[in-house]
Amino acid sequence: MDVPQHRSTDITAGAEAKSMVNSEIPGKRATIHDVARAANVSPATVSLVVHDKGQLSKPTRERVMEAIDAVGYEPRRIEGRPRRRRQSMYCLVVDDIRNPYFHELYKGITDALDPAEAIVTIASTEDQIERQTLVLDNLAQSSVDGVIVVPASGAQPEDLEKLANTDIPHLLVVRNIGHGALDYIGGNPMLGTVMAAEHLIALGHRRIAFVGGYVNNFAFHERYVGFISTMMKHNIPVEDGFIVNGGSTKAFGREAASRLLNGPDRPTAFLGYNDLVAIGIMNAISDMGLMVGKDIAVVGYDDIPEAADQPVALTTIATPAYQLGKIVANSLSRMSMEAGRSPINITFPPTLVKRESCGATRYWKDGNDR
């Protein structure tokens, strides 16, 4: 984990210090990190002073206030605006608002924050970096009290830079971007995919297709590694064309599975990137007059409510969205109160939920070799 290096500045020479900091990058607005460096404290300590929270010594508070004046920092809560509102406001930023998993996540967050009468809004980036940048940049200039981000595919730490340069508590959820210094709460997609692949292999499957996701998505990379490593562990080759990516919807799963099922050597089992893809795969199986769980096995990922309500209930990997949402809300509400804290990294263990979609038997009764 990279730890920011602090430099000490003589804040008693107010105008001189202000000139020095602001001249480093002409025209750049001073950030909470500039104040932290000038006062030789952490950004979290600056946030506590700005919001008049926490238990800090009088000298520390005075040093931070002097640094704020010295570097010309303008906190979001400026003079004349009430320090305390009756209601706090948070924003959940997701990559696809249509995904039912995020509905459960949102409910967990709102239920946890309900006693505080907090307001939680939701914004969708449509899994586009440009739209994510627009949303986060606007939030960075707002009076929101916290931001929860499900990053768009291909997101990098620098895409959160403007938000990081504010005193707004924020964290990544569900989907990590592989940077240990960022706060993250979510599942373990690599382990979850290992569990799914092991389940299919234990049932005797060798011709397994992995469908869905985007190659520039960190979660896809984790699941892909989990799948490939498990196949290699059992000395099972992955057939050409059996890894299909480029989407995460039912429509994508249906189209991808239709192509594979119409091929000369179709898979006997599918592992969907998420439940939506897996449900699309099951639709494609039915379209061909085949039976899910009898002719072809399917495993999903997420355990959205819809998974159990399919004509053939979907076997899937569960990372409970509602419980995750409650943990996210409780963690976020504490973040602004903790000075000098280490990055949050909470990982939920995945669970294999066995249902009817993997009870494939007809293929083996036809005398095919496992």
pLDDT at 359: 84
Per DSSP, helices labelled H in the chain are 14-22, 32-39, 43-50, 58-71, 100-113, 129-140, 161-164, 189-202, 218-233, 250-261, 275-287, 305-308, 321-335, 362-365
Instruction: Output DSSP code: residue 292.
Output: B
* 250 and 309 share one domain: yes
pLDDT at 53: 66
User: Could you give the number of structural domains in the chain?
Assistant: 3
pLDDT tens by residue, the chain, 370 residues: 343 333 332 333 333 333 334 434 444 567 777 888 888 887 778 777 776 666 678 888 888 888 888 887 776 544 444 444 457 899 999 999 999 999 999 999 999 998 888 899 999 999 999 999 999 999 988 888 899 999 998 888 888 888 888 888 899 999 888 766 688 999 999 999 999 999 999 999 999 999 999 998 888 999 999 999 999 999 999 998 999 999 999 999 999 999 999 998 999 999 999 999 999 999 999 999 999 999 999 999 999 999 999 999 999 999 999 999 999 999 987 886 665 567 788 999 999 999 999 985 444 444 444 3
* 243 and 227 share one domain: yes
The answer to whether residue 370 is domain-embedded is no
pLDDT at 340: 59
pLDDT at 81: 42
- Of 16, 49, 84, at which residue does a domain stop? 84
* 193 and 302 share one domain: yes
The answer to whether residue 149 is domain-embedded is yes
pLDDT at 290: 96
pLDDT at 302: 95
Exposure letters 2-40 (e unless 16+ CB within 10 A, then b)? eeeeeeebebeeeeebbeebbeeeeeeebbbbbbbbbbb
Residue range(s) defining the domain that contains residue 17:
1-84
* 233 and 359 share one domain: yes
